[in-house]
A and B are shown apart, each in its own frame.
Chain A
Amino acid sequence: DVKVTQSSRYLVKRTGEKVFLECVQDMDHENMFWYRQDPGLGLRLIYFSYDVKMKEKGDIPEGYSVSREKKERFSLILESASTNQTSMYLCASSSSGTGDYEQYFGPGTRLTVT
């Protein structure tokens, strides 16, 4: 089974802190994604990566950056956390080629910024 793990299920940070959210997948997938999910807004794509060291902006990249130094790991970075970044963050991965429609999601990290 594909497994996507996220470093924390719950995280509380203070305004202005630098926050790292880590995601690891064990299926050798080329593609990895970061979403945030807010009530009434659904899932929104922040950034994605289709290869090591490659990244592309999603729909709401402002206030975030990402890092992909190894194929299995994709990090989301909040350079200076703000209260409006309080949200559920979901990581996903998929393979390239004919199976790239199927994204496998992690359990999510609920981040609260106070």
Chain B
Amino acid sequence: DAKTTQPPSMDCAEGRAANLPCNHSTISGNEYVYWYRQIHSQGPQYIIHGLKNNETNEMASLIITEDRKSSTLILPHATLRDTAVYYCIVSYLTGTASKLTFGTGTRLQVTL
């Protein structure tokens, strides 16, 4: 069963904000939202995660709706190097070996 739903692809102009949506309508109270990305020919890379509050780090911002049924990853000033597949994942944080289920993600193409 898919826990998250993401659009298969999106385009963004370089320098503009890229807003990547994710639906997770069946999320449980203790489940976190994680975002990873995979640049071509590399392994996935962690970006950000959150539970209820909006989060920001040096790479991106994560906006989670109040009902927690959806979220948006924001890359504030997209560059060509941000072209990648972005994965939205919902999972418990176990403190031992949290399992992450990667779906097929959103392929973001940043263009000049």
Using a CB–CB cutoff of 8 Å, the interface residues on chain A facing chain B are: 4, 30-31, 33, 35, 40-45, 48-50, 56, 58-59, 90, 92, 94, 96-98, 100-108
Contacts and interface: CB of A to CB of B under 8 A. Distances in A.
Contacts of B45: 105
- Classify the secondary structure of B's interface with A: loop
7 contacts: A42-B104, A45-B100, A100-B94, A100-B98, A103-B100, A105-B45, A107-B42
Interface residues of B, number: 24
Given A4-B43, A105-B45, A107-B43, A100 B96 contact: yes
A42 B98 contact: no
A42 B103 contact: yes
Contacts, number: 69
B97 interface: yes
Given A40-B104, A42-B104, A42-B105, A108 B99 contact: no
Contacts of A100: 93-98
Nearest to B85: A42
Interface centre among B32, B42, B94, B96 (most CB of A within 10 A): B96
Interface in B61-112: 87, 91, 93-105
B21 interface: no
Contacts of B100: 45, 101, 103
Contact of B98 (A41, A44, A94, A108): A94
Given A100-B93, A101-B34, A101-B93, A43 B44 contact: yes
